[in-house]
Amino acid sequence: MRYPLALRLIHWLTALLFIPMLVGGYFVIRTMDNADPFKLDALMYHMAFGVFIALLTVIRLVLRWRLLTARPELSAAALWVHRAFYLFIFLMPVTGFTMVFSARLNDIVFARNGAPLPADMAAIPGHWWHGLFALTLTLLIAVHIAGAFKDRVTIRRMV
């Protein structure tokens, strides 16, 4: 059974967006000095694409419930990896919004109100969890890719 085209497109679009978000968040934004004016732009894109990925995930879940009359058979491990994906993809924007609203990053980043970024971004509520969930998603992606290559039927369903 092949997944419907809409689900396959959203899957691959999410993958294409998610990997740069993880890499950019960890290796670029985290390492940038808060005084660097480019950091506001980097945070703006990171936050906007994070919301977009969350919306894509909601759309994907709705389409999945509506379009899939027959569910593909998944191993217990694959089922739990997929459930974990949805859980952590949901938790990422929750922790992101926690950081945004507790530190008023929306005013600093989007409204450009002139206020400086917090001196210690790691002290913002939700920051530690956001990083932990990003690491968890990175590990899930690796397991997901390994499982897909192990099972050629999965690759045929998603391409």
What are the residues whose beta carbons fall under 8 Å from the beta carbon of 70, sequence distance 6 or more?
Answer: 1
Distance CA 148, CA 4 (A): 18
Report the chain (159 residues): mean pLDDT per 10 consecutive residues. 88 93 94 93 96 95 86 80 92 96 96 94 96 96 87 70
pTM here is 0.88
User: What's the chain's Rg over C-alpha atoms?
Assistant: 18
Q: Give me the domains of the chain, ranges plus CATH numbers.
A: 5-158 (1.20.950)
Closest CA relative to residue 102, chosen from 130, 134, 137: 130
Distance CA 50, CA 92 (A): 8
pLDDT of residue 154: 67
Closest CA relative to residue 91, chosen from 46, 52, 136: 136
Q: Give the DSSP per-residue string, 53-104.
A: HHHHHHHHHHHHHHH-SSPPP--HHHHHHHHHHHHHHHHHHHHHHHHHHHTT
Q: Are 124 and 102 in contact (CB under 8 A)?
A: yes
Distance CA 91, CA 110 (A): 22
- Buried b / exposed e over 55-68, threshold 16 CB at 10 Å, is ebbeebeeebeeee
